[in-house]
Amino acid sequence: MPTTTNYGWTTPADTDLVKDGASAIRTLGTAIDTTTKNLNPSTTLGDIEYRSSTANTNTRLGIGTSGQVLSVSGGVPAWTTISAGAFTLLSTTSLTGATTDITSISQSYNTLEIYIYGVTNATANGVFFCTPRNSTTSLTVAAVAPTSIGGSNEVIWGNAAGARLSTDGSGLVMDRTISDNFWVVRIANYASTTTYKSYEVVGSYQDTTDGRQEGRIVAGCVVSTSAVDGLRFSNSGGNLSTGTVKIYGVK
C-alpha cells in the first residue's frame, strides 16, 4: 500500500477497487487523527507543546504558576520559579522623540533596576529625567541630589519631571552630544499599592562646562501608594536622539 511522504499515512493504490474506498478513507482518517493528536496534545488553557524524542510526537507542558519563567531543564523546556535576588531582563527600549513612555511593566517582582545609557538629544542641553507612572498618570517624586561635594543640595519635590538624571540649573549640565553616559535607577517595592517607594539614581555623564565625566546621585521616593507600572523619559532640551533603556525585574 502507498503511504504519504511525511507522516506515512496509508492511502489507496491506483489499482484498488472502488468498493474498498470507505475502508481506505477510514484508515487514512484514523491515521491523520492520531498524528494530529500526537502533534497537538494540549488539553488545557495555557498549555504549550515541544518536540519529544519520538518523531512526530510532541510533549504537552502545562502552564506554570504566576511569576514563573520558562527555562530549560534536562534539555527540555520547563517552568521555573525565579530565586530571590535573580535579575530578569523585562525589556529593551530605544529612546526617541520628545518623550518615550514604557508601559505595562510586570508587577511580579520586588524591585525594578533600570539601566539607561548612550543618551543624546537634539537642539539644546537640558534636563534629562525619568518619571515613574501609573497607567497614564505621572507620579510625584520627592528627592534630594548633592550638586557638588560641599555644595548645596538640589531638592526636588512633587512634579511631573520626576527624578532628574541630569541637571540644567545648578552646574553639572549634561552635554547633549556626548553619549558617554550611564545611569542606574532603582525603585524598590514598586508594585506596592499601599506604601511609597524608594527611588535612587546613580549615574554619570559628561559635563558641558569643563568636559569632565561627572557623577550624579539622587535619593528619594515616589510619593504615591499607586503601583509603578510605567516610566517616562524626556529631555527638556529637545527630542531624544539616541539612548537605550533596559528594565530588569529583581526578585
Partner 1 sequence: MSNPKIRIHDIATNEIIDREMTAEELAEYTAVKEMLKQEKAEATAKAEAKQAIADRLGLTADELKLLIS
List contacts with partner 1 (CB under 8 A): 90-91, 93, 95-106, 126-127, 138, 149-151, 159-161, 168-170, 234, 236, 239, 247
Supply the minimum distance, in Å, between the C-beta of residue 36 and partner 1.
Answer: 30
Residue 235 is which amino acid?
Answer: N
Q: How far is the CB of 168 from partner 1 (least distance, A)?
A: 5
Give me the least distance between CB of 105 and partner 1, in Å please: 6
CA distances in angstroms from 173 to 7, 119, 148, 184, 240, listed in the order given: 68, 14, 12, 18, 16
Cβ closest to partner 1, residue 98 vs residue 217: 98
Q: Please say which residue, 58 or 134, places its beta carbon nearer to partner 1.
A: 134
* Whole-angstrom Cα Rg for the chain: 28
One-character DSSP codes across 45-58: TT-EEEE-SSTT-E
Residue 193, SS3? Answer: coil
Separation of alpha carbons 58 and 52, rounded Å: 5
Among residues 59 and 134, whose Cβ is nearest to partner 1? 134
Q: How far is the CB of 91 from partner 1 (least distance, A)?
A: 4
Measured from the CB of residue 96, what is the shortest distance to partner 1 in angstroms? 5
Residue linked to cell 527600549: 93
Nearer to partner 1, 40 or 96 (CB): 96
Beta bridge partners of 144: 155, 219
Q: How far is the CB of 43 from partner 1 (least distance, A)?
A: 26
Minimum gap (Å) between residue 234 Cβ and partner 1: 7
- Decide: residue 29, CB within 10 A, 0-12 exposed, 13-18 middle, 19+ buried: exposed
Task: Say if CB 111 and CB 90 are below 8 A apart.
Answer: no
Nearest to partner 1 of 75, 150 (CB atom): 150
Residue 228 or 247 having the CB closest to partner 1 = 247
C-beta of 30 vs 103, nearer to partner 1: 103
User: In whole angstroms, what is the distance from residue 184 CA to residue 73 CA?
Assistant: 32
Helix or strand run (H / E) with residue 30? helix 21-39
Distance CA 166, CA 145 (A): 10
